[in-house]
Structure 1
Amino acid sequence: MISSGLESAPRPQGRLTDHIGLGVLAARYDRDLLEEVLNRTGRREKRSRRLSAHVMIRYVIAMGLFFSESYDEVMRLLVGNLRKLGSWTDDWQVPTASAITQARQRLGPEPMAALFDRAAVPLATSGTKSAWLARRRLMAIDATSFDVADTADNVERFGKMGSGPKASAYPKLHVAALAECASHAIVGAVLGSCRTGERTLVADLVDRVGPGMLVLADAGLFSFELFNAFAATGADLAWRIGASISVGHLRWLPDGSYLALIYRPGLDADRRARLVADVKTGRNIPTDLARLVRVVEYTVPDRNPDGELIAVVTTVLDPDEVPALDLAEAYHQRWEEESALDEIKTDLRGRGEVLRSKTPDLVEQQMWGLLLAHYAIRALLLDAADPAGYDPDRMSFIKGLRVVRRQVTDQAAITP
């Protein structure tokens, strides 16, 4: 007599929740990595629990995958297939929403943040399409906000936009992010209050960039101080500036761009003019007053019939290394980060949905779970795109998300 696979499947030893995984995502965040971040953050339990810390890390990532589901339903989705394998013992019950919340509180946001910091690295290889310009990895920085549950604690921590009767309906978690343009992988993030300015949040991303990158940013993030801080990392920059930013023209370059100075705020016109004259005569200028940059100016008539002038300042001074046209085309890769953030806000979270965690620590924990879920899916899409020679930012995120959700619920997620 031939027995079925279900009848012959071995029953795993130990607690049921010790065997919970996330299917195709388990390899991205394996058990050893989880144990490492738990040790680093001091969240390892002193006694055995049904909902152990490493289980809850995976559970919080699953919350990102199944955002609209209730807490206990997310757990059912993770363990439901184990019943078919004969590994769900008769006396085991899905933990209540209250028990899950208590386990999340014990975990806190720190292990999720540490896991993201440890695991979220640039993904593009040397052969990845649209990932590079003159041997520089194209990266972008931007910021956005997420509505969170309207509780007194969340209002205190994150604030609301506006005040009085014009205040926003919900408190808002502000997220500044660094993304790899080609893969849409977010590889750096800072969480804060909506009362904190974007530039202040973005400043904390400085340690996530370095040599070999070309970092792109929109005009809303430009300041002399922030530009200098990112440039000091050794990364090259290409940031748009607004019409209100004064630049001191020095000389035209063969590709139509020009060398110029950008200034520390507060310098009067006479002082700026003297700095320009000093550079033209070969004198050194104080770096705390001005910086030498190259300016690329252009219009995009098919997108802007009014002919708005776009001005991008860059630390790449040699037009032979990166011609103006190539730099202008590369700058528009910045929109890929907006697409990446939209994938989180629309595809994972759901359009208009609210992060429903009631306390600030759990809000941040949930946000890190969303970021980790997004990163893992984007890594899978890159793994599929590179061998086929596809541009990874053309891979459908929503289709990848559906595949991962099916893997979690349809396959055995048992780890050794």
Structure 2
Amino acid sequence: MFDDTLHFLANHLESPDWARLGEHLPYEWVEQAVLSTEAASIRHRRLPAEQVVWLMVALALYRHKSISEVLDDLGLAVPDSQTPFVSKSAAAQARQRVGQAPLKWLFERSARHWVAQDKKAYLFKGLQLFAMDGTTLRTHDTVENREHFGAQSYASDTVASYPQVRGVTVTSLPTHLVHSAVFGPYSTNEMLYAKQLLGTIPNESLTVFDRGFLSAEILCGLTGSGAERHFIIPSKSNTKWEAIEGESEDMLVRMRVSPQARAKCPELPEFWEARAITVVDAQARKRILLTSLRDRRRYKPSDIALCYDKRWGIETSYRELKQTMLGTALTLRSKTVDGVYQEIWGTLIAYNLIRLEIAKAALAVKCEPTEVSFIRAFHLIQFELHWAGVTRSYGKLPASMKHLRERLVSLLNDERPGRKCDRAVKATPKRYAVRKVKKLP
């Protein structure tokens, strides 16, 4: 029975059909994701597991459309002359059957492969550049979501109106491709999520952290395992150390590990060392950066400061994902816990597909991927996929993708000469206008 099902899928779902949603996601990966997580469909369905995986990726690309519209516009369902359209209930049931596991497997497989593809073109003195940071996403306010994810609590004993998902990601700084991610309940501290991601960071790499991750357990766990895994992180105002050697602007320091940290993790040493560099930003503010890059000749303070300045690029990635792709939606689509996780993994795959196309286009014209507009790339990919779904011209996909990359960089030099990406802290935009009430005399 199972062999017959695979034979049916192979005959009816040819590889060019899968390629419409991205030439970088081989059908074999999707098939393996389904088989390895035991989510394959035994019955002949209009929405087998493989198609549901594609549906979740497509839903992230077309956040403004309903599930039914995405299914119809892209032709994701297996053709059936008797029932040309798939009902909403059938799509919901298909998502429940598949669950989140295949999407998570596919993200992890594709992300590592895509980040490693062109790493030689984006090395910093032989090291891959990454950044780690956290973010949150809001979900529908259902009993199940609130019990599982929880919500932010305030000092006034009030709780946020919507449950929230907390997550931490490791992102490639040159290309903004998400390398690895972990998501879960809001009540779980970011440090616990960060520890889960340490093992995913590759050797010969440099990871830039926000000061919130300043912890001996995190940083020693990174450098103590693997080969040539380094960090850069700003010190806190209350960070204490003892100078070992060097000058005040560039010195080697030793810090004591707290007894509480050693009680939780007995493997930690009593002391740990780092290089402390004092840098001055554009606003003439001094900042001390701690790093494991001790070779002063190879890694100059200006180089280290430049690497840290790129860290905020991960925050623009969150903006692209949450505001551009999700359309600043108040909540995610899904109303169940498993559906939320499934949607997040599908969104991350879709985001990486866009970022990968940008990286390929940038390599073709020898510019930085960050110089290519994400919004422009996102709209072009939406158009190309919709065109492929309407025309069903699968054989024209290579030429279409080539044309897409040419359009991505066609106005690069004219529209963005000498573009600068200095960080600017802006006020959070309000969803609703605030009415000002005059006080009575």
TM-score (norm 2): 0.79
Q: Shift of residue 93 of structure 1? A: 2.3
1:239 and 1:319 map into 2 onto residues whose CA distance is: 17
Q: Shift of residue 390 of structure 1? A: 0.6
Q: 2:302 aligns with which of 325, 342, 347?
A: 325
**Alignment CA distance shift 1:236-1:54 (3 Å):** same
2:364 and 2:67 map into 1 onto residues whose CA distance is: 38
2:215 and 2:109 map into 1 onto residues whose CA distance is: 29
Q: Shift of residue 317 of structure 1? A: 0.9
Q: Are residues 1:111 and 2:97 paired?
A: no
Q: Are residues 1:249 and 2:243 paired?
A: yes
Q: Shift of residue 26 of structure 1? A: 3.0
The residue that corresponds to 1:91 in the other structure is 82
The residue that corresponds to 1:410 in the other structure is 387
Contact 1:109 1:361 in 2 (8 A): yes
Q: Shift of residue 30 of structure 1? A: 1.8
The residue that corresponds to 1:374 in the other structure is 351
The residue that corresponds to 1:395 in the other structure is 372
**Alignment CA distance shift 1:44-1:90 (3 Å):** closer
Deviations along 1:265-299, one digit per CA (max 9) or x if unpaired, are: 249xxxxxxxxxxxxxxxxxx96111121111222
SS of residue matched to 2:242:
strand
The residue that corresponds to 1:275 in the other structure is none
2:202 and 2:28 map into 1 onto residues whose CA distance is: 28
Q: 2:234 aligns with which of 212, 237, 240?
A: 240
1:297 and 1:326 map into 2 onto residues whose CA distance is: 12
More divergent stretch after superposition (338-347 vs 350-359)? 350-359
2:110 and 2:58 map into 1 onto residues whose CA distance is: 17
Q: Which amino acid counterpart does residue 93 of structure 1 have in structure 2?
A: P
**Alignment CA distance shift 1:356-1:53 (3 Å):** same
Q: 2:123 aligns with which of 123, 126, 132?
A: 132
Q: 1:262 aligns with which of 247, 255, 278?
A: 255
Contact 1:256 1:324 in 2 (8 A): no
Report matched runs for 1:294-333 at 5 Å.
294-300=275-281, 302=282, 304=283, 307=285, 309-333=286-310
Q: Shift of residue 347 of structure 1? A: 0.9
Q: 1:79 aligns with which of 75, 88, 110?
A: 75
Deviations along 1:69-92, one digit per CA (max 9) or x if unpaired, are: 211111122129x9xxxx966433
Aligned-residue RMSD, C-alpha: 2.6
Give the fraction of aligned pairs with identical amino acids, expressed as a percent.
23
Q: Which amino acid counterpart does residue 380 of structure 1 have in structure 2?
A: E
SS of residue matched to 2:311:
helix
SS of residue matched to 2:307:
helix
SS of residue matched to 2:160:
coil
The residue that corresponds to 2:145 in the other structure is 154
Q: Are residues 1:32 and 2:25 paired?
A: no
Which structure 2 segments of 5+ residues have no match?
Answer: 1-8, 261-266, 396-441
More divergent stretch after superposition (177-186 vs 70-79)? 70-79
**Alignment CA distance shift 1:170-1:13 (3 Å):** same
2:10 and 2:356 map into 1 onto residues whose CA distance is: 31
Q: Are residues 1:335 and 2:312 paired?
A: yes
Q: Shift of residue 127 of structure 1? A: 5.8
| TM superposition outliers: structure 1 runs of 4+ over 4 Å | 12-20, 87-90, 412-416
SS of residue matched to 2:238:
coil
Deviations along 1:173-212, one digit per CA (max 9) or x if unpaired, are: 1111000001000010001111011111111111111321
2:216 and 2:365 map into 1 onto residues whose CA distance is: 42
Q: Are residues 1:101 and 2:78 paired?
A: no
**Alignment CA distance shift 1:311-1:40 (3 Å):** same
1:151 and 1:414 map into 2 onto residues whose CA distance is: 42
Q: 1:200 aligns with which of 188, 192, 196?
A: 192
Q: Shift of residue 139 of structure 1? A: 0.5
**Alignment CA distance shift 1:241-1:263 (3 Å):** same
Q: 1:221 aligns with which of 203, 213, 217?
A: 213
Q: Shift of residue 404 of structure 1? A: 1.1
Q: Shift of residue 114 of structure 1? A: 0.3
Deviations along 1:297-337, one digit per CA (max 9) or x if unpaired, are: 2221x3x35x2x32211111111110111101111111111
More divergent stretch after superposition (57-66 vs 160-169)? 160-169
Q: Shift of residue 52 of structure 1? A: 0.2
The residue that corresponds to 1:191 in the other structure is 183
Q: Shift of residue 351 of structure 1? A: 1.6
1:352 and 1:311 map into 2 onto residues whose CA distance is: 38
Contact 1:144 1:176 in 2 (8 A): yes
Q: 1:209 aligns with which of 196, 201, 205?
A: 201
Structure with greater contact order relative to length (CA < 8 Å, sep ≥ 6): 1
Q: Shift of residue 43 of structure 1? A: 0.9
Contact 1:247 1:261 in 2 (8 A): yes
Q: Shift of residue 21 of structure 1? A: 3.6
Q: Shift of residue 385 of structure 1? A: 0.4
2:386 and 2:253 map into 1 onto residues whose CA distance is: 57
2:394 and 2:22 map into 1 onto residues whose CA distance is: 8
**Alignment CA distance shift 1:102-1:71 (3 Å):** same
More divergent stretch after superposition (233-242 vs 169-178)? 233-242
1:156 and 1:342 map into 2 onto residues whose CA distance is: 27
SS of residue matched to 2:86:
coil
The residue that corresponds to 1:278 in the other structure is none
The residue that corresponds to 1:358 in the other structure is 335
Deviations along 1:75-123, one digit per CA (max 9) or x if unpaired, are: 122129x9xxxx9664332211111111000000000000011110215
